[in-house]
Amino acid sequence: MKMRTAEINRKTNETEIQLALSLDGSGESRIHTGCGFLDHMLTLFARHGRFDLTLTCKGDTEVDDHHTVEDIGIALGSALKEALGEKRGVTRYGSFLLPMDESLILTAVDLSGRAHLSYALEIPAQKVGDFDTELTEEFFLGFVRSAAITLHIRQLAGRNSHHIIEGAFKSVARSLAAAVAIDAAHQNEIPSTKGVL
Protein backbone atom coordinates (compact mmCIF):
# COMPACT_ATOMS: atom_id res chain seq x y z
CA MET A 1 0.00 0.00 0.00
CA LYS A 2 1.22 3.51 -0.81
CA MET A 3 2.43 5.34 2.27
CA ARG A 4 0.05 8.16 3.15
CA THR A 5 2.43 10.85 4.33
CA ALA A 6 2.99 14.56 3.91
CA GLU A 7 5.58 17.16 4.80
CA ILE A 8 4.60 20.80 5.15
CA ASN A 9 6.95 23.76 5.46
CA ARG A 10 5.02 26.97 6.05
CA LYS A 11 6.66 30.33 6.66
CA THR A 12 4.93 33.67 7.22
CA ASN A 13 5.91 36.88 8.98
CA GLU A 14 4.30 35.43 12.10
CA THR A 15 5.22 31.73 12.16
CA GLU A 16 7.66 29.21 10.72
CA ILE A 17 6.37 25.64 10.76
CA GLN A 18 7.89 22.30 9.79
CA LEU A 19 5.44 19.40 9.98
CA ALA A 20 5.55 15.73 8.94
CA LEU A 21 2.47 13.50 9.15
CA SER A 22 1.91 9.79 8.54
CA LEU A 23 -1.67 8.56 8.60
CA ASP A 24 -0.58 4.93 8.93
CA GLY A 25 1.62 5.33 11.98
CA SER A 26 1.70 4.11 15.55
CA GLY A 27 0.91 7.36 17.35
CA GLU A 28 4.49 8.54 17.81
CA SER A 29 5.06 12.29 18.04
CA ARG A 30 7.75 14.90 18.52
CA ILE A 31 6.06 18.27 18.99
CA HIS A 32 7.55 21.65 19.90
CA THR A 33 5.19 24.53 19.18
CA GLY A 34 6.25 27.06 21.80
CA CYS A 35 2.80 26.61 23.36
CA GLY A 36 2.89 23.95 26.07
CA PHE A 37 -0.83 23.24 26.18
CA LEU A 38 -1.00 22.83 22.39
CA ASP A 39 1.99 20.46 22.54
CA HIS A 40 -0.01 18.36 25.01
CA MET A 41 -3.18 18.39 22.86
CA LEU A 42 -1.32 17.46 19.65
CA THR A 43 0.57 14.67 21.42
CA LEU A 44 -2.81 13.25 22.45
CA PHE A 45 -4.17 13.83 18.95
CA ALA A 46 -1.33 11.80 17.40
CA ARG A 47 -1.62 9.00 19.94
CA HIS A 48 -5.38 8.59 19.75
CA GLY A 49 -5.45 8.86 15.95
CA ARG A 50 -2.46 6.50 15.59
CA PHE A 51 -0.84 9.18 13.45
CA ASP A 52 2.90 9.81 13.46
CA LEU A 53 3.44 13.54 13.81
CA THR A 54 6.60 15.62 13.92
CA LEU A 55 6.09 19.34 14.37
CA THR A 56 8.17 22.38 15.19
CA CYS A 57 6.99 25.97 15.18
CA LYS A 58 8.72 29.27 15.80
CA GLY A 59 5.99 31.82 16.31
CA ASP A 60 5.46 35.34 17.59
CA THR A 61 4.38 34.07 21.00
CA GLU A 62 5.69 37.29 22.55
CA VAL A 63 2.48 38.78 21.10
CA ASP A 64 0.25 35.84 22.06
CA ASP A 65 -0.36 32.28 20.88
CA HIS A 66 -3.05 33.14 18.32
CA HIS A 67 -0.91 33.02 15.17
CA THR A 68 0.92 29.91 16.33
CA VAL A 69 -2.26 27.98 17.12
CA GLU A 70 -4.13 29.03 13.97
CA ASP A 71 -1.19 28.44 11.63
CA ILE A 72 -0.48 25.00 13.09
CA GLY A 73 -4.13 24.13 12.45
CA ILE A 74 -3.69 25.28 8.85
CA ALA A 75 -0.46 23.30 8.41
CA LEU A 76 -1.91 20.13 9.95
CA GLY A 77 -4.99 20.39 7.73
CA SER A 78 -2.80 20.85 4.65
CA ALA A 79 -0.80 17.77 5.63
CA LEU A 80 -3.96 15.71 6.09
CA LYS A 81 -5.27 16.75 2.68
CA GLU A 82 -1.95 15.96 0.97
CA ALA A 83 -1.53 12.61 2.73
CA LEU A 84 -5.05 11.50 1.72
CA GLY A 85 -4.46 12.21 -1.97
CA GLU A 86 -7.54 11.29 -4.00
CA LYS A 87 -8.96 9.43 -0.95
CA ARG A 88 -9.33 6.14 -2.79
CA GLY A 89 -10.40 3.35 -0.45
CA VAL A 90 -10.99 5.47 2.65
CA THR A 91 -13.95 4.81 4.92
CA ARG A 92 -14.73 8.55 4.56
CA TYR A 93 -16.89 8.94 7.68
CA GLY A 94 -15.98 8.62 11.32
CA SER A 95 -17.51 9.55 14.66
CA PHE A 96 -16.61 9.08 18.29
CA LEU A 97 -18.27 9.73 21.64
CA LEU A 98 -15.53 10.33 24.18
CA PRO A 99 -15.90 10.58 27.96
CA MET A 100 -13.22 12.61 29.76
CA ASP A 101 -14.15 12.45 33.43
CA GLU A 102 -17.20 14.73 33.78
CA SER A 103 -16.95 15.86 30.15
CA LEU A 104 -18.57 14.07 27.22
CA ILE A 105 -17.61 15.07 23.68
CA LEU A 106 -19.14 13.86 20.42
CA THR A 107 -17.37 14.44 17.11
CA ALA A 108 -18.12 13.41 13.55
CA VAL A 109 -15.97 13.74 10.42
CA ASP A 110 -16.67 13.55 6.70
CA LEU A 111 -13.71 13.67 4.30
CA SER A 112 -16.06 15.54 2.01
CA GLY A 113 -13.76 17.90 0.14
CA ARG A 114 -15.91 20.70 1.60
CA ALA A 115 -14.69 22.80 4.51
CA HIS A 116 -17.26 23.07 7.27
CA LEU A 117 -16.86 23.34 11.04
CA SER A 118 -19.79 23.07 13.41
CA TYR A 119 -18.31 23.90 16.81
CA ALA A 120 -20.32 23.68 20.03
CA LEU A 121 -17.94 23.69 22.98
CA GLU A 122 -18.85 25.79 26.00
CA ILE A 123 -15.53 26.26 27.77
CA PRO A 124 -16.05 28.02 31.11
CA ALA A 125 -12.53 29.39 31.68
CA GLN A 126 -10.85 31.97 29.47
CA LYS A 127 -7.47 30.35 30.06
CA VAL A 128 -6.03 26.93 30.80
CA GLY A 129 -2.60 27.79 32.13
CA ASP A 130 -1.28 30.33 29.61
CA PHE A 131 -3.53 29.04 26.82
CA ASP A 132 -6.45 31.20 25.66
CA THR A 133 -9.30 28.69 25.41
CA GLU A 134 -10.99 30.60 22.56
CA LEU A 135 -8.02 29.53 20.41
CA THR A 136 -9.43 25.98 20.40
CA GLU A 137 -12.00 27.07 17.84
CA GLU A 138 -9.35 28.97 15.84
CA PHE A 139 -7.23 25.81 15.64
CA PHE A 140 -10.10 23.70 14.34
CA LEU A 141 -11.20 26.42 11.89
CA GLY A 142 -7.73 26.56 10.36
CA PHE A 143 -7.54 22.76 10.30
CA VAL A 144 -10.93 22.23 8.64
CA ARG A 145 -10.46 24.96 6.03
CA SER A 146 -7.11 23.66 4.79
CA ALA A 147 -8.04 19.98 5.07
CA ALA A 148 -11.36 20.54 3.25
CA ILE A 149 -13.29 18.29 5.60
CA THR A 150 -16.57 18.53 7.48
CA LEU A 151 -16.17 18.40 11.26
CA HIS A 152 -18.82 18.54 13.96
CA ILE A 153 -17.79 18.97 17.61
CA ARG A 154 -20.47 18.74 20.28
CA GLN A 155 -20.11 19.03 24.04
CA LEU A 156 -22.76 16.90 25.72
CA ALA A 157 -21.44 17.46 29.25
CA GLY A 158 -18.52 19.12 30.97
CA ARG A 159 -17.44 21.71 33.54
CA ASN A 160 -13.64 21.48 33.55
CA SER A 161 -12.09 23.50 30.71
CA HIS A 162 -9.01 21.29 30.39
CA HIS A 163 -11.17 18.15 30.20
CA ILE A 164 -13.49 19.67 27.58
CA ILE A 165 -10.65 20.68 25.26
CA GLU A 166 -8.71 17.47 25.79
CA GLY A 167 -11.85 15.44 25.14
CA ALA A 168 -12.37 17.35 21.88
CA PHE A 169 -8.85 16.69 20.60
CA LYS A 170 -9.02 12.99 21.51
CA SER A 171 -12.48 12.56 20.02
CA VAL A 172 -11.55 14.35 16.78
CA ALA A 173 -8.46 12.15 16.49
CA ARG A 174 -10.47 8.96 16.87
CA SER A 175 -13.13 10.15 14.43
CA LEU A 176 -10.42 10.98 11.91
CA ALA A 177 -8.72 7.63 12.44
CA ALA A 178 -11.99 5.90 11.52
CA ALA A 179 -12.58 8.16 8.51
CA VAL A 180 -9.09 7.78 7.00
CA ALA A 181 -8.98 4.01 7.56
CA ILE A 182 -8.88 1.93 4.40
CA ASP A 183 -12.09 -0.02 3.77
CA ALA A 184 -10.62 -3.39 2.77
CA ALA A 185 -13.75 -4.41 0.83
CA HIS A 186 -13.67 -1.23 -1.27
CA GLN A 187 -10.03 -0.19 -1.29
CA ASN A 188 -9.99 0.71 -4.98
CA GLU A 189 -13.08 2.90 -4.84
CA ILE A 190 -13.56 6.58 -4.10
CA PRO A 191 -16.51 6.64 -1.64
CA SER A 192 -18.70 9.11 -3.51
CA THR A 193 -21.26 8.83 -6.29
CA LYS A 194 -19.51 11.83 -7.87
CA GLY A 195 -16.35 9.75 -8.30
CA VAL A 196 -14.28 12.42 -6.57
CA LEU A 197 -13.91 13.77 -3.04
Q: What is the pLDDT of residue 1?
A: 61
Task: With respect to residue 192, please indicate whether it lies within any of the assigned structural domains.
Answer: no
Task: With respect to residue 196, please indicate whether it lies within any of the assigned structural domains.
Answer: no
Task: With respect to residue 193, please indicate whether it lies within any of the assigned structural domains.
Answer: no
Task: With respect to residue 154, please indicate whether it lies within any of the assigned structural domains.
Answer: yes
Q: What is the pLDDT of residue 70?
A: 98
pLDDT tens-digit readout, 72-102: 999 999 999 999 999 999 999 999 999 999 9
Query: Structure pTM?
Result: 0.97
Task: With respect to residue 194, please indicate whether it lies within any of the assigned structural domains.
Answer: no
pLDDT tens-digit readout, 6-43: 999 999 999 999 999 999 999 999 999 999 999 999 99
Between 63 and 58, where is the model more confident?
58
Residues ≥6 apart with Cβ < 8 Å to 28: 46, 52, 53
Task: With respect to residue 62, please indicate whether it lies within any of the assigned structural domains.
Answer: yes
Three-class DSSP labels, the chain: CCCCEEEEEEECCCEEEEEEEECCCCCCEEEECCCHHHHHHHHHHHHHHCCEEEEEEEECCCCCCHHHHHHHHHHHHHHHHHHHCCCCCECCEEEEEEEECCEEEEEEEECCCCCEEEEECCCCCCEECCEECCHHHHHHHHHHHHHCCEEEEEEEECCCHHHHHHHHHHHHHHHHHHHHCECHHHCCCCCCCCCCC
pLDDT band at 195 (very low <50, low <70, confident <90, very high): confident
Task: With respect to residue 191, please indicate whether it lies within any of the assigned structural domains.
Answer: no
What proportion of the chain, given as a percentage, has pLDDT over 70?
Answer: 99
Domain extent at residue 93: 5-186
The total of structural domains in the chain comes to 1
Task: With respect to residue 181, please indicate whether it lies within any of the assigned structural domains.
Answer: yes
Residues in the chain: 197
CATH number at residue 47: 3.30.230.40
pLDDT tens-digit readout, 136-170: 999 999 999 999 999 999 999 999 999 999 999 99
Q: Are 51 and 84 in contact (CB under 8 A)?
A: no
